[in-house]
Amino acid sequence: MTGNCTTLGALTALLVGLAISAQAQNRVDDFRSKLEKWVETRQIVSEERSDWEVERETLRATRKLLRQEKTALEAEIQELEETNTGADEERRALVLERGEYQRAAASLEAQIRSMEEEVLALRPQLPSPLQKKLEPLLVQIPEDPTTTRLPLGQRLMNVLGVLAQAEKWNGTATFVGETRAVRGDQKVQVRTLYWGLGQAIYVDAQAEAAGVGRPGPDGWTFSDEPELADDAKRLLDIYEGNVDVIEFVPFPVVIEGGESES
């Protein structure tokens, strides 16, 4: 009986020891599990913190770059505004200058047109030889200025060219050989001496036909005056240097509507 009790006690003690050992092992396993989770959590936190540090530095660099870009854009905008202001001022100046140019061009065109009209009115009063010489210029002077495409500069040069040649002709005596109708429809070769734009005298080679010419409203008119033939021949010979003796030769000259001897 006593032996059985001893065996039972030992068995009970063994079972209690095993239970305590199992509980301790469970505690150790639980601690180990918690420790592993804690370590894992710390690693995750560390990784997230590291990623956050990297992201924070990236954000800082981005913010710095954006600030620099903003500063550059503000400077560029200011420069563009200043440029636009200068361009606006230059544009206004150009508009004013264009207006002045247009007014000056209109005034110049009016003056040139007035000169053209004077030349066109003067044309019939020019001697025929001079008109033929000026024909390349005269044909370019428009009857209607709205139909011409010539620039103002060219139109002015045409007018000045005509006036210059007319003034040159008017300041000297001009000898011309030409064919003229005398004694009706008979045409003969004559020598004609134009005294400027005011008068001309002609004579044929035989000193049989002679006459004078003068400008009128509708052009030059020539009248036969055979009684002037000898004087006209002598005058033309002196002018051409065909005689040895130079002398005064009288013939009628019209001055301001009256006649006088020259």
Q: Which two tokens stand for residue 175?
A: 């000898």
CA angle 94, 95, 100 (to 5 degrees): 95
Report residue 254's pLDDT band, with 50, 70 and 90 as the boundaries.
low
Compute CA distances 54 → 58, 67, 119, 210, 236, whole Å: 6, 20, 93, 121, 117
CA angle 179, 227, 235 (to 5 degrees): 65
pLDDT tens, residue by residue, 104-163: 878 888 999 999 999 999 899 999 999 999 999 999 999 898 888 899 899 999 999 999
The rounded percent of the chain whose pLDDT value lies above 70 is 79
Euclidean distance between CA atoms 232 and 247, whole angstroms: 13
Please give the average per-residue pLDDT across 166-181, as a whole number: 92
pLDDT tens, residue by residue, 72-98: 878 878 777 777 676 777 788 888 778
234 neighbors 192 (Cβ within 8 angstroms)? no
Question: In this model, does residue 46 exceed pLDDT 90?
Answer: no
pLDDT tens, residue by residue, 194-225: 999 999 999 999 998 999 999 988 889 999 99
Euclidean distance between CA atoms 75 and 62, whole angstroms: 20
Spatial CB neighbours of 51, under 8 Å, sequence gap ≥ 6: none
Give pLDDT, residue 260: 46
Which ranges of 149-257 does DSSP label H, i.e. alpha helix? 152-170, 229-240
Residue at token pair 């000045």: 160
251 phi/psi in degrees, rounded to 5: -160, 155
194 neighbors 172 (Cβ within 8 angstroms)? no
Say how many C-beta atoms besides its own lie within 10 A of residue 98's C-beta. Answer: 10
Please give the average per-residue pLDDT across 253-260, as a whole number: 54
